[in-house]
Amino acid sequence: MNRGTKRGGDEPDEFERPVADVLNDQGLMAAQELVQKKIDAVRRTLQDGLGVADGDIVEIPVLFNSSSKWYPGRYFAETVNMVNGLLIGNEFIVPDPLGPIVGGKDVLLQAVKDRIEPLGCRVRPVDNFYPYHRHGGEVHCGTNATRHPVVPTGYFIP
């Protein structure tokens, strides 16, 4: 499923396997359903509390997994998680998902471009697989960006 994630001498990563195998993995698909229910609940809470419309939320594809060895009952992004990118002006810097190539394009990256670029942002992928993703982080974790809201509004004002 991931491509280009193997360096010389390294063992192959678990997701260097065909997409069909991933889709036929009943345990993994059950994990997706469970995580999606949790995401949906958080989304509803945010929408209700902040008045955010469905059309204002951009869904980004990611595959989750769990590890009984390290974090029983908790889930992590198995595929590179483009949600944890960095927005600077109208540039959205995302971890390169290293997803399956169909028709010469990375289907995961293209899905994000198709959703983000019509909003006026340019999507710029960077390879952060080894320095961050393999250690539980992504692009945002490797930055120290600070920003100030243009107009202070919302839930954080007393």
Exactly one of 118, 141, 149, 150 is catalytic; which is it?
141
Tokens linked to 129: 């697989």
Tokens linked to 145: 């960006």
- Residue 141 annotated as catalytic: yes
Q: Confirm if 138 and 128 have CB atoms less than 8 A apart.
A: yes
Active site residues: 141
